[in-house]
Structure 1
Amino acid sequence: MPMDLGLTGKVAAITGGGSGIGLGVAEGFAREGAHLVLAGRRGDILATEAERLSREYGIKAVAAACDVTTAEGCAALAEAVRRDFGGADILVNNAGTGSNETIMEASDEKWNDFWNLHVMAAVRLARGFVPMMRERGGGSILHNASICAVQPLWYEPIYNVTKAALMMFSKNLANEVIKDNIRVNTINPGLVLTGDWIKTAKQLTADSGGDWEAYLRGIAEENTPIKRFASVEELANFFVFLSSDRASYAVGSTYYVDGGWLRTV
């Protein structure tokens, strides 16, 4: 059900918007009556989902095929938003992925790839979107980081480091642009049941009976006091609320949506 957060007619751009958390966040905004720009590398998937969201929610959703790990891709996204809507009120920097390596063995190229994906994409999109938001009287920028930004997992040091950098960038950007009535915040999710988690669980249990649901249940019970994964919709609801004027005093903060997984205060 809609929360009636005053987002009807607003324009939200979501990177990594074709699947998983990004698509869930897009659907949350559509449910509130916001128009959408879905950004990602797979133009076919984006176009299909944009058409579905437009049809189901009576909003305008467009696909923007681009690679935000490059300066050209970020510029193309900003250009598409200005062309189709004249600007944006909300930007969700969601594009990202996990890693698997050791510090001693990971190449410079891998470090640079993740730096561009998790940090420089946010930097470049800030340059492109802040002027548009300023013209519209303000806006909201949200960065999807991770609990791993402060509570690292041993097998993905590059992910941990770049997500921590994204969190610090978000804080600095928030201080710089609040004068323009642009609020910047970070969300650090914990366990969220996406297709990637299910795919991985099926692969890991293929040789031991294939009970992938029990495998995921074990992860949740071991790590979270709530004893379960979040649904994508649960996380998306928080993104939508934080983008609305109901959260007007939330500036430069980091919010944990992790079922109690964080082991500090």
Structure 2
Amino acid sequence: MDMGLGGKVAVITGGSVGIGLAVAEALAAEGAHVLLVARGAERVEAEAARIASQYGVEAMGLAADVATPEGTAAVIDAARTRFGGADILINNAGTGSNETVMEAPDEKWQSYWDLHVMAAVRLARGIAPQMKRRGGGVILHNASICAVQPLWYEPIYNVTKAALMMFSKCLATELIPDNIRVNCINPGLILTPDWKKTARQLTEKSGGDWEGYLQGVADEHAAIKRFGSPEELANFFVFLCSDKASYSVGSTYFVDGGMLRTV
């Protein structure tokens, strides 16, 4: 299926590893040019160079912390100066947390708010005008199933991802007159390097069966009894970026292998 994304310009935050990198590759495979954003310069620049070589598209790796105003400003400027603006924005940068409400300090709440919510707000303010000048575009927010079905050990993650989901809905209503479609994706269990790292740490003193640990997590939470791959999730992102999803506006989509326990 031709997704009609050839020549489009996509900005992907958290783009050097895991879900963000998979989405960048999937878009590049469709002929889109990509601006990968991550905090680590060496990795993001290397992945951009590899994608450019492998898929024959223009790719740039930018080291920036999108949890800061300076970082988002750098992304907005790079999209404008290097590519003449963006057609697609994937707000993917984020990370899990581990705390209790009673013990977590204000600073931790603020840092996750800046990363999961304010990064999306600031990038929308800077990238949406570029999209409008180019005739329209797509903004996708990578939230989490935890936005509606929280895990007990990460209340800050749950709350800020729920806020991102609501922001996505509000932004969609505001931008659709400019032909900019905004949607949110709530993944379930996706086998990212972070999950593997955590599983190895948790099983280090009990035999090291990290794969068995992850299978137990999947058995407990997902009806499909396995983790999804970043590539499986990326395929859904690509569809929502395309004109094939032209009537998808202001929605939240669960890609979770049956993890959600409500309707």
Question: Deviating runs (4+, > 6 A) in structure 1?
Answer: none
Letter in 1 for 2:87: D
Corresponding position of 1:210 = 208
Q: 2:215, 2:108 → 1: CA distance?
A: 31
Identity of aligned residues (%): 70
Give the deviation of 1:83 after TM superposition: 0.6
| Aligned with 2:224 (options 216, 223, 226) | 226
Corresponding position of 1:101 = 99
Give the deviation of 1:4 after TM superposition: 2.1
Give the deviation of 1:34 after TM superposition: 0.3
Where in structure 2 are the equivalents of 1:76-225 lying within 5 Å?
Answer: 76-225=74-223
Q: How many residues align?
A: 263
Give the deviation of 1:209 after TM superposition: 1.1
Q: 1:44, 1:259 → 2: CA distance?
A: 34
Corresponding position of 1:6 = 4
Letter in 2 for 1:199: K
Q: 1:162, 1:222 → 2: CA distance?
A: 24
Letter in 2 for 1:247: A
Letter in 2 for 1:96: G
Letter in 2 for 1:72: E
TM-score, L = length of structure 2 = 0.99
Q: 1:106, 1:137 → 2: CA distance?
A: 44
Partner-residue secondary structure (3-state), 1:12: strand
**Correspondence 1:74 to 2:66:** no
Deviations 1:189-232 (A, max 9, x none): 00000111111111111111111111101110111110000011
Q: 2:109, 2:208 → 1: CA distance?
A: 34
Runs of 5+ consecutive residues of structure 1 not aligned to the other structure: none
Runs of 5+ consecutive residues of structure 2 not aligned to the other structure: none
Q: 1:33, 1:204 → 2: CA distance?
A: 40
Give the deviation of 1:63 after TM superposition: 1.0
Letter in 1 for 2:41: G
Question: How well do the aligned residues superpose, as a CA RMSD in angstroms?
Answer: 0.6
TM-score, L = length of structure 1 = 0.98
Q: 2:106, 2:249 → 1: CA distance?
A: 34
Partner-residue secondary structure (3-state), 2:31: coil
Q: 1:243, 1:202 → 2: CA distance?
A: 35
Partner-residue secondary structure (3-state), 1:252: coil
Deviations 1:151-172 (A, max 9, x none): 0000000000000000000000
